[in-house]
Amino acid sequence: MVERHPWIPAIGAEYVLGMDGLSLLLVLLTSLILPFAVLAQPCGRSFCALTLLLQATLYGTFTAQNFVLWFLFYEVSLFPAFFIIKLWGDANRDVAATKFFIYTFLGSVGMLLGFLAIYFATGTFDFEKLAGLGRNGDLGLALVEHFGSVAVWLVFAGIFVGLAVKVPLVPFHTWLPEAYASAPVGGSMILTGILSKMGVYGFVRLLLPLLPQQVRQIEPWLLALAVCTIVFGAFAAWLQSDLKRMLAYLSLSHLGYCMLGLFAVAAASAGALSDTAAALGGVFIQIFNHGLTAAALFYYAGLLEQRCGHRSLADFGGLMQRTPLLCGWMSVAMFSSLGLPGLNGFIGEFLIFKGAFVLSAISTSIAVIGLLITAVVLMRAMQIVFSGPLSPGCAAFPELTFNERCVVVPVTLLMFWIGIAPQFLFNVFNSTVAQMVRLVG
Amino acid sequence: MIAYTIYLTFAGAVLVLLVPRAFAKWVALLAALAGCGIAAIAFLQVSDFAQFQTIIRVPWVPSLGIDYHLAADGISLTMALVTGLIGISSVLFSWNIENQQNEFFFWLLLVVGGSYGVFLSADLFLFYFFYELVIVPKYFLIATWGSTNKAYGAMKLALYSFFGGALVLIALLAAYSTGASLDLQELSRFHFSSQFQFWAFPVMFLGFAVLAGIWPLHTWAPTGHVAAPTAASMLLAGIVMKLGAYGAFRVSMNLFPEGFHIWSGAIATLAVIGIVYAAAIALRQRDLKFVIGYSSVSHMGFVLLGLATAQALGVGGAVLQMFSHGIIAGLLFAVVGRMIYDRTHTRDLTVLPGLALNRVIPFAAFTFVLASAAAMGIPGFSGFPAEITILIGTWRAYPALVIIAGVGMALTAAFMLRALKKSFFGEPIPTQCPDYAPISVPEKIGAALLLCVTLVFGLFPNLLLERILPAVETMRWLNR
């Protein structure tokens, strides 16, 4: 499925939209999360307008097949996100919004410069053509020819940092906890559910196919970054006393699994086709699952904050006595994030570990620590919030309303469905995985 | 049919959440009874114990080769039976739970159902699925309904369990990626290279052994037991520690026989140290529940020792000990946690002697006498045939260790007698003898059930051995 129109022929910019399994998956995820985010955030007309603008740019980002067009969508998406944080965020919103904007924007500038260099060297912005050049190494050669051998690495660094800020990878993550914690509920859901996936998507679509040799050369370092993200995120989450910040760090840690799987795939040799496929399939399914689960968790955090007026972990307690239903549904989402078998989180993590283990045993083994700590963090949070004596601040704590149930029930059912019978989700992207694996091999 | 133990228990767990508070314990009891009944019928009816017979096998995630595959042999059936028995009695001994009954019984049934699942899984993915499923409810049972130091005990237990789970996962992924299958039977026929087995076996074995309380990674067990509510201690000692031993046996030893033979000496040594060390520590405890907690570690040392012998008798004895210790530990924790602590609100061995509990609650004294006799390994109770078969097996494999293990048995008798004397037969201080509620009917039924089981299988151990030994003898890593 490709839709192609000439746009600015002078610089090789075309209006090309195309869709493969990965794009489809992300478009599905966007369509799933955004309505819920709007429902979660009763903020009136301007919020809806910004959300719709954001939705349009997200669809654009996930389907554009030409760099200029892609970059346009990618950049424009910053503005609604910025204003959502800035206008509806909590007390810290100014700092958080500015930090978010500046970090991401600076990253984008690096990426833009990198792509300009690529354009001058190859004369095209088209993803498919560039990927073709990248696969047999012509892209790197052309860059060396035009700008010297250091330039390849500068280009790589520019694109890498731009995407790494967006995901984010440790140590480019410092904007994340503030932005996620300060954003309004709907904003956090979109940020963690979909915006973070733009970075992962960028890695799959841009960096790995375009500069595979470079990726392979500094492979151990990339894996180390992913492992650091996983382990650091989990430990940092353990130390948080604010529910939303805790979820933000957990989200960071979970995105680390995606990156671990991706980098392991990028390093794969031709021999391990089935493992590469497993890891890549795991990454895709983790992208979807993380979007679903993390957004659901932020939704619940919003519900708690809305009802109690605060979100410090220590001030909750005994909610199970007041609202067993709310606690029940919320614990499903937390268990899913924890990777409990039978829910959606487990299958993605298992696959990533399974595939990545063959490709890189040591980093995978270290990353398992992250799994361990995540489980502990979430169980501790559950125990603090749900059980124990009822905290005085939560005495008048209403049960789920009808509107809230309309959000909670379908999402929970979907978590169980993916957890128990994930095959339908695999069918969405199986052919794409097979194709990508062939290209890597 | 035995697959219905899993389904009915999980169905019961869901149902418990939905029914009104007053019915929660009844639903839980029914679910536990149904599970145990099915396990018992299967235990009696199945005729071929040697083969790991497939019960059900359907593709689950076909693109990854993951099957929903359940199978059972004599060992699985034995373990399913003890799961059912402990399930019933733990429900009976938590009849007096007051706050959040529905959730309590929900978590409890989840542990029981997950344990059935582990004992019956024949697919590694499914095995790990159930194995992880059991760890989570334990945390909530302890952290929410526990007593002394519950947050610490629950967190320590969860950290150790997940750490063990992580080690298992690493070795499991390595096995999966090398052997290209997740089916236990297929993988156990696959020949892993010696070098691979050399490192993969200890990683996986240790992961499982953490849950079985191997020395020096046992420290979660006593603190966890002390913090846990009675039913959770019973489940923990009765079933969950067995999951570790069962996994070590069914997965790691079957998959990596060469690795097992390389490391078996080390395992036997750790096991014997555990037996003696834990018994010696138990002798010095002031908290009665710590005494029982350490006795569990000591008894699980016998299981590991039996496994490490690689002799048919030793391994068979280890499985018998898993069964027997499950019942006896359940009984001991029931007496200490429910009968004594819930009434006196103390487990301090310097305070208990003054209460003259043998006169106030004679039934508890009677139960504890029999239970500690069983724990000491007095002939007539199920502990005796188990330990004697393990020792015979050990005699063939590691003669020197038998003597040390014997010291451990003597220490066990010493600390059990000390606990018995101090808790029930002290000098009464008249001013300190309040009236306690008499032992209730559910407690009596639960205690009678477990006592009967330990007596029946103590007098007729062959009922179990004739089911266990044929299955053990099919294992290809056995030294004949």
pLDDT tens track for A286-333? 999 999 999 999 999 888 888 887 788 888 877 777 777 788 888 889
Q: Which residues of A touch B151 (CB under 8 A)?
A: 383
Amino acid A3: pLDDT? 81
Count of the separate structural domains present in chain B: 1
What per-residue confidence (pLDDT) applies to A174?
87
Q: What pLDDT shows up at residue B199?
A: 87
| Residue B362 falls inside a structural domain | yes
What is the chain B residue with the closest CA to A334?
B136
CA A249 to chain B, closest CA, distance in angstroms equals 19
Q: Would an 8 Å CB–CB cutoff place A74 in contact with chain B?
A: no
Contact A371 B177 (CB under 8 A): no
> Is A8 an 8 Å CB contact of chain B?
no
With cut-offs at 50, 70 and 90, classify the pLDDT of residue A177: confident
- Measured between CB atoms, which of A275, A335, A347 is closest to B177? A275
Q: Which of B17, B63, B174 lies closest to A426 in CB terms? A: B63
**C-alpha span between A236 and A373 (Å, rounded):** 10
The verdict on a CB contact (< 8 Å) between B133 and A342 is yes
Confidence of residue B432 (pLDDT cuts 50, 70, 90): low
Q: What is the pLDDT of residues B396-430, one digit of tens each?
A: 888 888 888 888 888 998 988 888 888 887 777 76
The confidence score (pLDDT) of residue A304 equals 86
Task: Say what the pLDDT of residue B83 is.
Answer: 93
- Stronger pLDDT, B466 or B360, i.e. the higher one: B466
Residue of chain B whose alpha carbon sits nearest to that of A356: B173
pLDDT surpasses 90 at A47: no
Search chain B and give the residue with CA nearest A322.
B100
What is the C-alpha separation between A435 and A438, in angstroms, rounded?
5
pLDDT recorded at residue B116: 92
- Residue/partner pairs of B359-363 with CB below 8 Å, 24 or more apart: B359/B428, B360/B433, B360/B435, B360/B436, B361/B436, B361/B438, B361/B439, B363/B339, B363/B439, B363/B443, B363/B444, B363/B447
The predicted pLDDT at position A26 comes to 92
Q: Do A338 and B136 touch (CB under 8 A)?
A: yes
The answer, for A428 touching chain B at a CB cutoff of 8 Å, is no
pLDDT at A17: 87
ipTM of the complex: 0.71
Q: What's this model's pTM, rounded to 2 decimal places?
A: 0.82
pLDDT at A210: 85
Say which residue, B374 or A267, is predicted with more confidence: B374
Could you tell me if residue B36 is inside a domain? yes
| Domain contains B479 | no
Look at B17 and A328 and tell me if their CB atoms are within 8 Å: yes
From A360, which residue of chain B is nearest by alpha-carbon distance?
A: B174
User: What is the pLDDT averaged over residues B278-284?
Assistant: 89
Mean pLDDT calculated for residue range B274-284? 90
Average pLDDT estimate for A38-47? 81
How far is residue B28's CA from residue A227's CA, in Å, rounded to a whole number?
43
Q: Contact A347/B61, CB-based, under 8 Å?
A: yes
Instruction: Give residue B4's pLDDT.
Output: 87
Cβ contacts below 8 Å, chain A against chain B, sum to 85
Question: Averaged over B388-398, what is the pLDDT?
Answer: 88
Start-to-end CA distance of chain B, whole Å, equals 34
- The first and second tokens of residue B444, run together, are 């009596």
Which residues of B fall within a CB distance of 8 Å from A364? 170, 173
φ, ψ (nearest 5 deg) of residue B71:
-150, 160
Nearest chain B alpha carbon to A359: B177
B359–chain A nearest CA distance, Å: 36
Q: Of A128, A129, A127, A153, which Cα lies nearest the Cα of A140?
A: A153
Collapsing DSSP to helix, strand or coil, B460 comes out as coil
Q: Which of the four pLDDT bands, split at 50, 70 and 90, describes residue A269?
A: low
Measure the CA–CA gap between B283 and B274, rounded to whole angstroms.
14
The conformation of residue A6, written as its DSSP 8-state character, comes to: E
**Confidence band of B140 (pLDDT split at 50, 70, 90):** confident
Please tell me the distance from the alpha carbon of residue B203 to that of residue A357, in angstroms, as a whole number: 15
* CB of A430 less than 8 A from some CB of B: yes
Task: Write the residue in A321, A350, A379 that is nearest to B158 by C-beta.
Answer: A379
Best B169, B178, B206 residue to mutate vs chain A (most A CBs within 10 Å): B169
Statement: residue A270 has pLDDT above 60: no
Asked whether residue B107 is assigned to any structural domain, the reply reads yes
B59 to chain A, closest Cα gap in Å:
11
Residues in chain B: 480
Length of chain A: 441
DSSP A164: H
Q: Say if A429 is an interface residue toward chain B (CB within 8 Å).
A: no
Residue B115 lies in a domain: yes
Of A328, A358, A383, the CB nearest to B140: A383
The pLDDT value recorded for residue B480 is 67
Say which amino acid occupies B475: M
* Tokens read off for B359: 């006169």
pLDDT confidence of residue B393: 87
Asked if A342 is an interface residue toward chain B (Cβ–Cβ < 8 A), one would say yes
Q: Do A347 and B133 touch (CB under 8 A)?
A: no
Q: Is A116 on the interface with B (CB under 8 A)?
A: no
Closest residue to A376, CB basis, from B63, B158, B180: B158
Q: What is the pLDDT of residues B442-464, one digit of tens each?
A: 888 888 999 999 889 888 888 88
Is the model's pLDDT at B129 over the cut of 70?
Answer: yes
pLDDT band at A441 (very low <50, low <70, confident <90, very high): low
Do the domain assignments include residue B480? no
CA dist B146 → A313, A376, B225, B360 (Å): 21, 18, 9, 26
pLDDT over threshold 70, residue A271? no
Residues of chain A contacting residue B102, judged by C-beta atoms under 8 Å apart: 324
Residue B478 is assigned to a structural domain of this protein: no
Distance CA A252, CA A337 (A): 12
List, for residues B15-74, the tens digit of each pLDDT value: 888 888 888 888 888 999 999 998 888 888 877 777 888 888 888 877 777 888 888 888
Q: Given pLDDT bands bounded at 50, 70 and 90, which one contains residue B341?
A: confident
pLDDT at B465: 86
- B185-240 residue pLDDT tens: 888 888 888 888 888 899 999 999 998 888 888 888 888 888 888 888 899 888 99
Containing structural domain, residue B390: 4-473
pLDDT band at residue A364 under the 50/70/90 scheme: confident
